[in-house]
Structure 1
Amino acid sequence: MKPSKMLSRGAAIAAPVVLLGLVFSMLLLLGPAKPAAADCGPAISVSVDANTKVAGYSQEQLKNAASIMGAGKALNLSVNGQMIAVMVALGESGLRVLDTGDTAGPDSRGLFQQRGNGAWGSYEDRMNPTTSATNFMKALQGVAGWELLEPTIAANKVQRNADPYHYQKYWPEAVKIVQALSTSKFSLQGSECGIPGQSGAGNDYPWKDSPTWMQAGATSASTSPLGMYYRECVDFALWRVNQQMGSTSAPFRFLNSNFRPDGQGLGSALTWKAGWDAKGWPTGRAPKVGAVVWYAPGAGGADPNFGHVGVVKEVKDNGTYVEEGYNGNPAPDDHNYYTRTVSNTVPSAFLYLPVQEETK
């Protein structure tokens, strides 16, 4: 199978990123570092009136969303928590106060389809948007480390529905609604909701001597246990992701084939930002040790078709960081480990790693 054919299926980045090393020397502009956000999304206030409109949603739905956000503000719940609550209400009731249940829960009622088992208060409580939202959010706050979980996983810890990824498809709409109703605008791209990772011990990539896809003739033997081509930028970066999440030997926790909850492959460097978005993991503009560095095609001299990924090894005080990775230099030093100092403003985004609730 030709590498281009495998790329069409998102298996790995097959084209050497030869331009990256050639052009980087021209791009290391030592500009001031962009200040990182102080926290992972402070609590925000809500504003909605008869003139507030969000495409696809009625005034009733927006008022219910506003009630959820208001309840979150009263609890000093972060914007992330408010979005999770709106996401759940979208997934459970379409942001409507339903006086009906379903097959799985005939006694479920309200915005969050809360059961009549006593855990969610009275019938009147469950039918009240503010009270039901408050009860949901209090339960969410009781989930250890919830702010650093995938939004759908955090929600599932409260709702305990059969499919932990049920709410994932409602996340983009929840973000849109909360942004529209917020008195102070925010951007997920600008939120620095990540955690410091481990920079690793230099070139500890387990397959540093394995043949590249070119040397192996693009056979299955050239694919690592992670499902990427050996000694490509994506394979090294995915190794770091596994390593930092506590998975350092086979069977590895995060693979090209299972990383995204929607079943698509993580793919070449081109699709990594989309992979993070699909998973609900945070991204931003500030380097953090252990974060994946993402270059869109052509950015910073990266390959014009596939882009490039690396990993933040060290963050400096002068607006630069030290990046590590594989296949970031031209031949004959391609497909080898590299480090370089880069200005914070050069990459397209930094992809952060959340703390997982069941890391073992």
Structure 2
Amino acid sequence: MQNKALGLISVAAIPGLVLGVVFSLLLLLAPAKSLASCGSTTSVAFSAGTEVEGYTVEQLKNAAAIMGAGKALDLSVKGQMISVMVSLGESGLRVLDYGDGPGPDSRGLFQQRDNGAWGSYADRMDPTISATNFIKALQKVEGWELLEPTLAGNKVQRNADPYHYQKYWPEAVKLVQALSDGKFSLEGSDCAIPGKTGAGDDYPWKDSPTWVQIGANDASTSPLNFYYRECVDFALWRVNQQMGSTGEPFKFLNGSFRPDGQRLGSAVTWKSGWDAKGWPTGSVPRVGSVVWYAPGTGGADPTYGHVAVVKEVKDDGTYVEEGYNGNPPPDDHNYYTRTVSSDVPSAFLYLPTQEEK
């Protein structure tokens, strides 16, 4: 086995092993889960005594009106959250009777323009009607439930910055949960939320032995067809998780990720794998995107390179990455996080529903 190169960004990714032909065929032929099943709509539970820290009664009433409009249109809970998120980003959940520089004729919760597409002035100023019109437009966006929430909202609003709404997503989730008639969670559902990277070290096979511990000849592979606790296995777990595939049979595997029949392989070939699949890449970190280090870049292994996942993007030109096999022995096959300058990696590999601004 090769030696590990230790540096700022460490480490080798071991090429994935080939599973038995029969087992591979079973995985490939097994029925896949629907990625568009985002949970049933939730009903509103709002009364005079309802309180959510940081929000006025007016804002809560407006959020409830948006959720109610979604319920009437059988909108999924993710759609209700997206609708509240967009209103937070456009008006702060207030019915505004004025616009802004780019849209001086914008009005209401969603700052809808006076262009005929959003009804009359009274319609745009009515919380329920304006929300209904927004939701109907959202439902016409092909594949909207598979989009990152901010991108789904932007397909309707056409904001100059498609990531404008991203910072409002956590508050939208909090509000919909607080105003719903029952507790729910998007975790473990088939609702794809690219950009939602999980809660720390939630890698399912963290206690499995590594090839270093038991030897490559005796080591088994994860359900994703990589050695356990390698950087590539963790990164592909995050890809599956964000695309709504959180249990066996997983949608994206080492052996079937690429459409050309080649394996996704060790970290060194991940960029070419993304290109072969037609998925976007770029130089800007996005939460949930895969960080790709070419061999020797930033201290990565000179032969195999390294992959990780963007956990957080900061305003100072850095980002926080998470991954496995990024520490020197004896912690080399454990979870890690660290802050890295955005110009260090060779590229960022986006999910198909992400894009570079």
Query: What TM-score results when the alignment is normalised by the length of structure 2?
Result: 0.56
Offset, 1:159: 0.7
C-alpha change, 1:76 and 1:186, in structure 2 (3 Å) is: same
Q: Secondary structure at the match of 1:272?
A: strand
Number of the residue aligned with 2:56:
58
Number of the residue aligned with 2:281:
254
Percent of aligned pairs sharing the same letter:
53
Q: Secondary structure at the match of 2:62?
A: helix
Question: Match for 1:123: what amino acid?
Answer: Y
Aligned match of 2:152 in 154, 162, 165?
154
CA distance in 2, matches of 1:270, 1:40: 29
Offset, 1:42: 1.1
CA distance in 2, matches of 1:354, 1:85: 22
Q: Does 1:49 align with 2:16?
A: no
Offset, 1:151: 1.1
Question: Match for 2:334: what amino acid?
Answer: P
Aligned match of 1:145 in 134, 143, 146?
143
CA distance in 2, matches of 1:90, 1:17: 42
CA RMSD, 1 decimal: 4.0
Offset, 1:236: 6.1
Give a deviation string over 1:226-278, Cα, whole Å, max 9, x none.
Answer: xxxxx34xx666766665xx32xxxx7235x43506999689999637369xx
Q: Secondary structure at the match of 1:91?
A: helix
Cα contact 2:90–2:111 (8 A) shared by 1: yes
Q: Secondary structure at the match of 1:188?
A: coil
Number of the residue aligned with 1:204:
262
Q: Does 1:272 align with 2:309?
A: yes
Moved more, 135-144 or 152-161: 152-161
Number of the residue aligned with 1:129:
127
Q: Secondary structure at the match of 2:110?
A: coil
Number of the residue aligned with 2:334:
304
Cα contact 2:287–2:312 (8 A) shared by 1: no
Q: What pairs up with 1:1-360 in 2 under 5 angstroms?
A: 4-5=7-8, 7=9, 14-15=10-11, 39-193=37-191, 194=244, 197-199=251-253, 201=255, 204-205=262-263, 231-232=266-267, 246-247=277-278, 253-254=280-281, 257-260=283-286, 272=309, 274=311, 303-306=333-336, 356=353
C-alpha change, 1:261 and 1:198, in structure 2 (3 Å) is: closer
Gaps of 5+ in 1: 8-13, 19-34, 209-230, 277-293, 308-352
Cα contact 1:148–1:355 (8 A) shared by 2: no
CA distance in 2, matches of 1:186, 1:296: 34
Gaps of 5+ in 2: 15-32, 192-243, 294-299, 301-305, 314-322, 338-349
C-alpha change, 1:187 and 1:354, in structure 2 (3 Å) is: farther
CA distance in 1, matches of 2:128, 2:144: 21
CA distance in 2, matches of 1:36, 1:139: 23
Give a deviation string over 1:114-135, Cα, whole Å, max 9, x none.
Answer: 0111110111111110000000
Give a deviation string over 1:12-37, Cα, whole Å, max 9, x none.
Answer: xx24589xxxxxxxxxxxxxxxx999
Offset, 1:80: 0.9
Number of the residue aligned with 2:319:
none
CA distance in 2, matches of 1:200, 1:181: 42
CA distance in 1, matches of 2:185, 2:285: 24
Offset, 1:199: 3.4
